[in-house]
Amino acid sequence: MAIVNIGVLGLGRMGQVYALHAARQIDGAQLVAVADPRSDVTTEFARKVNGVATYADYRDLLARPDINAVIVATPTHTHEEVVIAAAQAGKAIFCEKPTALTLAATDAMIAAVEAAGVLFQVGFMRRFDEGCANAYRQLQAGVIGDPVAIRSIGRDGGRTSLEYADPAVSGGLILDMGIHDFDLIRWYMGAEVERVYTEVSSLVFPELTTVGDVDYAMISLRFTNGALGNIEVSRDAVYGYDIQTEIIGTKGTLKVGYLQYTPVVVVTQAGVTHDIVPHFPQRFGSAYTRQIEHFVACLGAGAVPLLTPADARAALQIGIAATISQHEGRIVRVAEVGA
């Protein structure tokens, strides 16, 4: 297979993560260009990666015929415009989650991708984490019987910027963080979510309410097969980065995740201590690499990615329903969204 030339659109926090992975860690691919309207950001990035071309306008990058694929890491509210432009330019597309802020925008993106006949994968890296993938295989093998309940926890070690927290930009806490959990629970449970109910608070970072966001959310769910679920997402974990999932089955339980980062335990008269996973690059670094490797491999083989556009749409639909519940204080049926 020929080397896949990749361009990265958007050099925010996640864009830089993806760009560095593409530049240094992906067999069969090379990073050839990046685009971001902030010249100071592109200049600094070019110092890290020799030979990478930089653009202020992503359209100029898309115009390059030698670029086979793009990673879209621009702000979520711009995804529709950027993905449609990339599809029309004939590029294979990896898009950071969530696809968009609305189902209408997501449907427009999917329609453009299908019309262009290009590969489209969305960034749900947890499916590529060794622990998460192993748990899925155990479920498929029937190790814990039939899953009847699931609990997923996602705790960030501090709040994001108020500019990013604005739901008009990121979708807010539930869409921005919970989207990973919504995808994972569908994958694990093998069933769709029927209804949701959300409770929220902002007791640690009350300033988030000034932009319409919160720092804590708990979402109760019922699946179409009668199974139950609970998702907790927060920006309150001042001790570190805490990601856990527990699946309860008829014959046992699976627990996924860890808090201790390095295999060192300190034992003194004061007690027993260990360190904690600091943030997402340390917890899911290899998973971020593997999902881009998967994207490149699918492009080369003409294969369908593990994550389909329908999966991304379904996770977004649950997130929008949970957000409606947050604001309206009622149980929301997922089918109400985009019906």
Task: Give one DSSP letter per residue of 212-277, joined into a string.
Answer: T--SEEEEEEEETTS-EEEEEEES--TT--EEEEEEEESS-EEEE--S--SS-EEEETTEEEE---
pLDDT exceeds 80 at position 281: yes
Q: Is 171 helix (H, G, I), strand (E, B) or coil?
A: coil
Q: List Cβ neighbours of 132 (8 Å cut-off, separation of 6 or more).
A: 126, 184, 245, 256, 287
Note if the bond before 263 is cis, omega within 30 degrees. no
pLDDT exceeds 90 at position 105: yes
- Cα separation, 69 vs 94, in Å, equals 8
pLDDT of residue 339: 57
Show contacts of 229-232: CB within 8 Å, 24+ apart.
229/149, 229/150, 229/151, 229/152, 229/185, 229/189, 229/193, 230/150, 230/151, 230/152, 231/151, 231/152, 231/153, 231/154, 231/178, 231/181, 231/182, 231/185, 231/322, 232/151, 232/152, 232/153, 232/154, 232/155
Computed over every residue of the chain, the mean pLDDT equals 96
Question: Of all residues in the chain, what percent carry a pLDDT higher than 70?
Answer: 99
Q: What is the mean pLDDT of residues 118-126?
A: 97
Q: Which fold has domain 127-284+314-336?
A: Dihydrodipicolinate Reductase; domain 2 (3.30.360)
| Per-position DSSP letters for 27-68, written without gaps between them | TTEEEEEEE-S-HHHHHHHHHHSTT-EEESSHHHHHT-TT--
Contact between 170 and 73 (Cβ < 8 Å): no
* CA-based end-to-end distance of the chain: 42
Q: What is the mean pLDDT of residues 107-135?
A: 97
pLDDT band at 338 (very low <50, low <70, confident <90, very high): confident
Question: Of all residues in the chain, what percent carry a pLDDT higher than 90?
Answer: 95
Contact between 175 and 101 (Cβ < 8 Å): yes
224-241 exposure pattern, b = at least 16 Cβ within 10 A, e = fewer? eeebebbbbbbbbbeebb
Q: List Cβ neighbours of 26 (8 Å cut-off, separation of 6 or more).
A: 6, 289, 292, 293, 296
Residue 4's H or E segment, with its range, is strand 4-9
Q: What is the mean pLDDT of residues 120-126?
A: 97
pLDDT band at 30 (very low <50, low <70, confident <90, very high): very high
Distances, alpha carbon 237 to alpha carbons 74, 130, 136, 240, in Å:
26, 23, 27, 6
pLDDT band at 25 (very low <50, low <70, confident <90, very high): confident
pLDDT exceeds 80 at position 288: yes
Q: List Cβ neighbours of 325 (8 Å cut-off, separation of 6 or more).
A: 196, 197, 198, 219, 331, 332
Q: What is the mean pLDDT of residues 67-79?
A: 96
pLDDT of residue 27: 87
pLDDT band at 40 (very low <50, low <70, confident <90, very high): very high
| pLDDT, tens digit, 9 for 90 and up, residues 319-335 | 999 999 999 999 999 99
| pLDDT, tens digit, 9 for 90 and up, residues 241-250 | 999 999 999 9
157-172 exposure pattern, b = at least 16 Cβ within 10 A, e = fewer? bebbeeebbbbebbbb
pLDDT band at 168 (very low <50, low <70, confident <90, very high): very high
The superfamily CATH assigns to domain 4-118 is NAD(P)-binding Rossmann-like Domain (3.40.50.720)
pLDDT of residue 177: 95
Q: What is the mean pLDDT of residues 269-291?
A: 94
CB count in 10 Å sphere of residue 336: 12
- Cα separation, 218 vs 220, in Å, equals 7
Parse the chain into domains and list their residue ranges: 4-118, 127-284+314-336
pLDDT of residue 1: 55
CB count in 10 Å sphere of residue 24: 12
Q: What is the mean pLDDT of residues 273-284?
A: 93
